[in-house]
């Protein structure tokens, strides 16, 4: 089993190294990750500028590739043949913060897995509540990876995994919950008198309903959420037809 490992924090991030080392016990691993931090970069396809790939060395002395592109670009580069490696499975992470609910649309970690799913490759995104959970998250990824490879995943479906920081009570299969964002706009002025802005605010919270990714993490369970790329609101289609948009 050939496993492509990527992330959104950059090839030198500690979570990536721990993930790579765990997955090496169950398959042949190649690392292709961004050369800088792409957190909250979303699902990106770089078409307006060239992408560069360089060979790098990880902290354990093993080889890796760094790309100037986003996490999703890293996956595309491999699938299109930029390096001589054909992945059977893609694992993205380990992200040092959780990716729950609507975070998945922002997360470079998850959108790297999305790129794999769109290309028909079984793909997993792995995040933790806190970096202290890197090791158990890596071990769970090494357990899950060969199962996902053997069983396969439905068309355009990925697995989004979130691991709690404390004692792990078990594993729950979950749906996406409700995230609560606390964004604030911070306005400042540069030395030339021109305004600029930061989007800041407190860390997102969530509503810990039973059966959701937010709830599972809150109660100490690993959350495994299957995410399908078809975001059509099917239940609304009939209501939309009643709008008589044809004139």
Structural domain includes residue 191: no
pLDDT of residue 187: 95
CA angle at 110 for the pair 114 and 79, rounded to the nearest 5°: 45
Residues 230, 158: Cα–Cα separation, whole Å:
12
Neighbours of 18 (CB within 10 A): 20
Structural domain includes residue 192: no
Structural domain includes residue 113: yes
List beta partners, residue 56: 64
pLDDT of residue 25: 98
Indicate the DSSP class of residue 89: E
Residues 207, 72: Cα–Cα separation, whole Å:
29
Domain count, the chain: 1
- pLDDT tens readout for residues 50-106: 999 999 999 999 999 999 999 999 999 999 999 999 999 999 999 999 999 999 999
- pLDDT tens readout for residues 6-65: 999 999 999 999 999 999 999 999 999 999 998 888 888 888 999 999 999 999 999 999
Q: What is the mean pLDDT of the chain?
A: 95
CATH number of the domain to which 25 belongs: 3.40.1210.10
201 vs 223: which has the higher pLDDT: 223
Structural domain includes residue 88: yes
Residues 170, 123: Cα–Cα separation, whole Å:
22
Instruction: Pinpoint the alpha helices (H) of the chain.
Output: 14-23, 71-79, 103-106, 108-118, 134-151, 213-218, 234-241
Q: β-strand 2-6 against 221-228: which pairing, if any? A: unpaired
Structural domain includes residue 159: yes
DSSP per position, 176-197: --EEEEEEEEEEEE-TTS-EEE
Structural domain includes residue 184: no
Structural domain includes residue 130: yes
Residues 203, 223: Cα–Cα separation, whole Å:
20
| Mean pLDDT value of segment 129-157 | 97
Structural domain includes residue 30: yes
Residue 130: pLDDT over 80: yes
Distances (CA, A) of 59 to 21, 70, 83, 88, 237: 11, 22, 21, 25, 52
pLDDT of residue 244: 85
For the chain, the residue count is: 247
Residue 152: pLDDT over 80: yes
Scan for tokens 């202290």, then name that residue. 132
Helix, strand or coil, per DSSP, at residue 144: helix
- pLDDT tens readout for residues 167-188: 999 999 999 999 998 999 999 9
Give the pLDDT band of residue 164 (cuts 50, 70, 90): very high
Neighbours of 207 (CB within 10 A): 13
Residue 247: pLDDT over 70: no
Residue 171 preceded by cis peptide, ω within 30: no
pLDDT of residue 122: 97
The domain in which residue 127 lies consists of 2-176+208-241
């Amino acid at each position: 089993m050939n496993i492509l490992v990527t992330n959104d924090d950059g090839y030198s991030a500690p979570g990536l190294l721990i993930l790579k080392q765990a997955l090496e016990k169950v398959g042949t691993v190649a690392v292709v990750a961004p050369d800088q931090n792409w957190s909250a970069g979303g699902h990106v396809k770089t078409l307006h500028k060239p992408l560069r790939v360089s060979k790098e060395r990880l902290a354990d002395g093993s080889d890796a590739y760094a790309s100037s592109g986003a996490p999703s670009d890293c996956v595309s580069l491999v699938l299109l043949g930029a390096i001589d490696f054909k992945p059977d499975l893609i694992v993205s992470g380990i992200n040092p913060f959780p990716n729950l609910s609507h975070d998945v649309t922002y997360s470079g970690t998850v959108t790297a897995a999305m790129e794999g799913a769109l290309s028909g490759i079984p793909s997993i995104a792995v995040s933790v509540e806190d970096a202290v959970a890197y090791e158990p998250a890596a071990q769970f990824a090494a357990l899950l990876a060969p199962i996902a490879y053997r069983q396969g995943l439905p068309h355009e479906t990925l697995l989004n995994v979130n691991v709690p920081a404390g004692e792990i009570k078990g594993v729950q299969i979950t749906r996406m919950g409700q995230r609560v964002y606390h964004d604030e706009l911070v306005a400042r002025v540069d030395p030339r008198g021109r305004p600029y802005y930061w989007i800041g605010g407190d860390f997102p919270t969530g509503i810990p309903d039973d059966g959701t990714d937010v709830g599972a993490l809150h109660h100490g369970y690993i959350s495994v959420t299957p995410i399908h790329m078809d975001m059509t609101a099917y239940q609304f289609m009939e209501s939309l037809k009643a709008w008589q948009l044809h004139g």
